[in-house]
Amino acid sequence: MADQITDDLKKTPLHGLHVSLGAKMVPFAGYDMPVQFEGVKPEHLWTRTQAGLFDVSHMGPCFLTLAEGVSDKAEAHDKIAALIEELVPSAISTLKPGQARLSVLLNENAGILDDLIITRLPDEHQNGRLYIVVNGAVKEQDWALFEEKLKGRAVLQRADNGVLMALQGPKAAEVLESYFPGCEDLKFMRCMLAAWDGGECIVSRCGYTGEDGFEIMIPADAGHSLAVKLIEDERVKPIGLGARDSLRLEAGLCLYGHDMDETRNPVEADLQWVIQKSRRERADFPGAEIVLEALSNGPKEKRVGIRPLERAPAREGTEIHVKGEPVGVVTSGGFGPSVDGPVAMGYVRADLAEPGTPVELMVRGKPRAGEVAALPFVEHNYKR
Amino acid sequence: MTQHFTQQVTFYTEDHEWVTVHGDLATVGITKYAADQLGDVVFVETPEVGKTVKKGDEMAVVESVKAASDVYAPLSGEVIDANGELADAPEKVNEHPETEGWFCVIKFSDGAETKGLMDKDAYYEFCKGQA
């Protein structure tokens, strides 16, 4: 039975490499993925001080282009941007060539269906090509939604058969510069097109750790040879999903399906910053009425950082109480190696969202002292 | 029917705990194999002294960077001591799992229960089967 389950799991092009490096593998988003190599804590700390290489090929990179091209390439961008803006509340039309933006896919009730990064590629295209990366666990349903809503108007090309990897940490730029000259000069949320070992790549300065770093979309074979080269560098170590989770939690970054989902709108999730002013004024995205109401009157609940004041971690599902009354729930929690203590995120009643508010965390039935904390727990180290 | 062990003997459980018995007292902790599997231990909740436990009860919790895991009572009896040092130094469980990283001492009530435990060789074979 166990073998059967393993056989059903998909493998990324770097799977064999992980196994050969002694990774402990676990099922994640339908893939057999490395959860750790040498250990969560050392991998986490390495990424904060050196450079960590993450295989994120389970995610959902894709391209969205106009079904019918136009002769003016700037107009092509406006047209494809207008189409994706029907599904997301962020301003995509105003992206400059090579610029990326975090956004959220919303349903009619402003519930978050996914978070995604939308990039206007630096090379202009008559069909106005957008590069979009969605979460692995929900990529099939996201893409089905794109197909359904934009049928006949846009063409979706999935690109999840190659390698998507992230090189994160303060040494990432100096390491990657010798492979992709010029990448050191990119600013946060900007990308460039490049090539390695005969494969065309998209190199984006972004990530999910709070550190400076890059994500690289690259064909399978070239991606494998690049990963092998990178881990030969003494500044680079392979990092598993365990440290990826503790890094993003310390950085205050949401994990879809945990810190936000269809039951939360972007204002509750404290992601209102992804909705630019022009979109608020036009109010032309799914659930706009609900979002605008939450923006003007405040949400009922809000996502906040939670700091357990004792050493016991407060994990996902831990009830948050104030004076014995339930006021919220932890949605992500664990130990933060850089903080050297437990850290968590969760939702509390909006009137209790102020950092410093004392709370009780119901860990295994016992109240333990905690407080609402400002996010992130560890300062972001992005290249602005 | 208390069975007294005049000499110190160490047994092991299938949940990767070690149990060192001497007289009618049993000192309990998790094995090196378990500690290595858990990764960095960040918190240990030891049982309250005075608590009565039955063999198989959830008795303590060990939290690593990865997850929370239950520790079960290997024998029935009364908890008469707990390792208070783990509160401030949970890393002792990784560094010295089978000595300084002990969890608690149980005054056990039924020495016959030790019959279901493994000796060192049997536990070694058991771990090999898990790899």
Could you give the domains of chain A?
2-57+162-250 (3.30.1360.120), 60-149 (3.30.70.1400), 300-384 (2.40.30.110)
The whole-number pLDDT of residue A4 equals: 46
Cβ contact, residue pair A41, B39, below 8 Å: yes
pLDDT, tens only, A134-155: 999 999 999 999 999 999 999 9
Contacts of residue A41 in chain B, CB cutoff 8 Å? 39-40, 65
- Share above pLDDT 90 across residues of chain A, in percent, rounded to a whole number: 96
Cβ contact, residue pair B87, A342, below 8 Å: no
Cα–Cα distances (Å) from B80 to A81, A106, B62, B103, B107, in that order, read 69, 56, 19, 11, 6
The whole-number pLDDT of residue B131 equals: 66
The chain A residue lying nearest B89, using CA atoms, is A311
pLDDT, tens only, A346-369: 999 999 999 999 999 999 889 999
Contacts of residue A44 in chain B, CB cutoff 8 Å? 65
Q: Buried b / exposed e across A20-54, counting CB within 10 Å, b at 16+?
A: eeebbbeebbebbbbbbbbbbbbbbbbbbebbbbb
Domains held by chain B: number: 1
Q: What average pLDDT does the structure give for chain B?
A: 93
Residue B78 belongs to domain with CATH number? 2.40.50.100
Rounded to a whole number, what is the distance in Å from the CA of A218 to chain B's nearest CA? 31
Instruction: Extract the tokens encoding B85.
Output: 């040092």
Rounded to a whole number, what is the distance in Å from the CA of A96 to chain B's nearest CA? 41
Q: Is the pLDDT of residue A77 over 70?
A: yes
- Share above pLDDT 90 across residues of chain B, in percent, rounded to a whole number: 85
Cβ contact, residue pair A364, B45, below 8 Å: yes
Is B42 within 8 Å of chain A by CB? Answer: yes
DSSP A91-154: --TTPPTTBEEEEEEE-TT--EEEEEEEEE-SS--TT--EEEEE-GGGHHHHHHHHHHHTTTTE
- What is the separation of C-alpha A30 from the centre of its chain, rounded to a whole number of angstroms? 17
Q: Show which of residues 42-101 on chain A sit within 8 Å of chain B, judged by CB atoms.
A: 44
Cβ contact, residue pair B63, A335, below 8 Å: yes
The whole-number pLDDT of residue A123 equals: 92
The chain B residue lying nearest A38, using CA atoms, is B39
Is A315 within 8 Å of chain B by CB? Answer: yes
Contacts of residue A36 in chain B, CB cutoff 8 Å? 39, 66
Q: What is the domain range of residue B93?
A: 5-130
Contacts of residue A24 in chain B, CB cutoff 8 Å? none
Q: What average pLDDT does the structure give for chain A?
A: 96
pLDDT, tens only, A235-257: 999 999 999 999 999 999 999 99
Is A335 within 8 Å of chain B by CB? Answer: yes
**Scanning the structure block, which residue is given the tokens 């357990």?**
A308
How confident is residue A58, by pLDDT bands cut at 50, 70 and 90?
A: very high
The chain B residue lying nearest A341, using CA atoms, is B42
Answer positive or negative: Cα dihedral of A127, A133, A139, A142.
negative
- Tally A–B CB contacts below 8 A: 46
